[in-house]
Amino acid sequence: MKFEGKTAVVTGGSRGIGRAICLELAKGGANVVLCCAGNEQAAQETAAACEQVGGKALAVRCDVSDAAQVKELFDQTQAAFGGVDILVNNAGITRDGLLVTAKEEDFDQVLAANLKGAYLCMKLAAKGMMRRRYGRIVNLSSVVGLRGNPGQTVYAASKAGILGLTKSAAKELATRGITVNAVAPGFIGTDMTAVLPEKAKEAMLATIPQGRPGTPEDVAKAVAFFASEESAYITGQVLCVDGGMAV
């Protein structure tokens, strides 16, 4: 995929799936602005890796659930590279637990990071995209947002919300040359899944027809497609990258 002359903002871009997305876009020549809420060293390392593969990159500290920080993220992007052509909403957290034991503050934190953060970023990005009559927005959901999963009621709710946000925004923005799509990863080998108990991993693998976990690069290639010119007539869609788990 070619992204020369395009500027992409990738939230949660310091590691895992976010890092793979940043590198995939940078390989195509994109200017990449990646943000993270915590691990600034990892963010700087990812930015350096993006420049090594051919893109320009900027790492910004940003809590996407904070409207003021999101505005600062877009202001810095504007100052460094101009307007945003591609937005990838990847930032997210999980607080796993059963419905009856989940804490209210866990619900608030997960919805703020996963859903409100995407909303805030989309709102700012869309304004500039509408003026230029061009844009690509890709939101990271999850197969649990489609299927549900015991012990992940809060996380699943946030990821299901992403799907409604995606489809509604796609209809609102289509006439302005802006596409809005979602990628729903399944069991992907990342730091987040590495800490799961072995029995939980084995149970997940048993539901995957391909018999293996996915890689961050598997997800990044799907995101890059939705961010590219090749997907110009595709909007409001959800692509599961899950080895057949959701079939």
CA–CA dist 217, 194 (Å, integer): 16
For 62-73, give one letter per residue: b (16+ CB within 10 A) or e: bbbbbeebbeeb
Residue type at 44? Q
Quote the DSSP letter at residue 44. H
CA atoms within 13 A on the CB side of 203: 8
Pick 193 or 63 by higher pLDDT: 63
Give the pLDDT confidence score for residue 150 in this predicted structure.
87
The answer to whether the beta carbons of residues 134 and 177 sit under 8 Å apart is yes
Give the pLDDT confidence score for residue 199 in this predicted structure.
78
Long-range contacts (CB closer than 8 Å, 24 or more residues apart) made by 1-5: 1/28, 1/224, 1/225, 1/227, 1/228, 1/230, 2/28, 2/29, 2/228, 2/229, 3/28, 3/29, 3/30, 3/55, 3/86, 3/227, 3/228, 4/28, 4/29, 4/30, 5/29
CA–CA dist 117, 110 (Å, integer): 10
CA–CA dist 153, 107 (Å, integer): 9
Average pLDDT, the chain: 94
Q: Which helix (H) or strand (E) holds 194?
A: helix 191-194
CA–CA dist 30, 7 (Å, integer): 6
Helix/strand/coil percentages in the chain, nearest 5: 50, 15, 30
Give the pLDDT confidence score for residue 60 in this predicted structure.
97
Residue 202 is encoded by which pair of tokens? Answer: 């084995």
From 119, 134, 155, 233, the catalytic residue? 155
Give the pLDDT confidence score for residue 91 in this predicted structure.
96
The fold for domain 7-189+216-240 equals Rossmann fold (3.40.50)
Give the pLDDT confidence score for residue 83 in this predicted structure.
92
CA-to-CA dists, residue 133 to 171, 175, 209, 236, angstroms: 15, 8, 41, 17
SS3 99: coil
Domain boundaries, the chain: 7-189+216-240
pLDDT of 100 > 70? The answer is: yes
For 109-160, what is each residue's pLDDT tens digit? 999 999 999 999 999 999 999 999 999 999 999 999 999 988 889 999 999 9
pLDDT of 58 > 80? The answer is: yes
The answer to whether the beta carbons of residues 55 and 25 sit under 8 Å apart is yes
The predicted model gives 3-23 an average pLDDT of 96
Clarify whether 119 is annotated catalytic.
no
For 176-235, what is each residue's pLDDT tens digit? 999 999 999 999 987 767 667 777 778 888 889 999 999 999 999 999 999 999 999 999
Give the pLDDT confidence score for residue 195 in this predicted structure.
67
0.85 cut: is pTM over it? yes
